[in-house]
Amino acid sequence: MAEDFIKASGNKIEQYNSLVPQIAAVIAGESDLIANLANISAMLKTQFNWLWVGFYWVKNNELVLGPFQGPIACTRIQKGKGVCGSAWQQAQTLIVPDVNAFPGHIACSSLSQSEIVVPIIHKGNIVGVLDADAILPAQFDETDQLYLEQIVQLIPIE
């Protein structure tokens, strides 16, 4: 399978409306989790050019780094730690407009100023999180939450 990704212009909603069906098409018919997470990371990075975007997956009750695009990142995050571990513990999406004001934020890159973390739920359990970081403050809002929550639901999970 080779796919050409079309990067949309326009406002954020228009960009997501172009992106979501392309993500659905690329992962359709592919059951391999790592392959799908890698392509989703690449498409989000290409569309929005955030500093970092990728996945952490729950393994032995901690979050372990998965496929991502961006600078090197910390590999393991405990439940309740950082934005990722907090989103996992609270079982909800967290939007952080200023990471410096978030108690316990884990700074994988000093360039990161804002962040969104979306839990990935499978059969009632959180199996991982989607994390995105931006170099601008307040980069993420409810629109990102809405669409990123849609995107993680597209991921086929065994």
Binding site for ligand SME (CB under 6 A): 52, 73-74, 77, 82-85, 105-106, 108, 112, 115, 131, 133
**Are 83 and 92 spatial neighbours (Cβ–Cβ below 8 Å)?**
no
Residue closer to ligand SME by CB (options 18, 145) is 145
Least separation in angstroms between residue 28's CB and ligand SME is 28
What number of CA atoms fall less than 13 Å from residue 102's CA on the CB side? 26
Residue closer to ligand SME by CB (options 27, 85) is 85
Residue closer to ligand SME by CB (options 131, 144) is 131
Least separation in angstroms between residue 85's CB and ligand SME is 6
Burial 53-83 (b: 16+ CB within 10 A, else e): bbbbbbeeebbebbbbbbeebeeebeeebbb
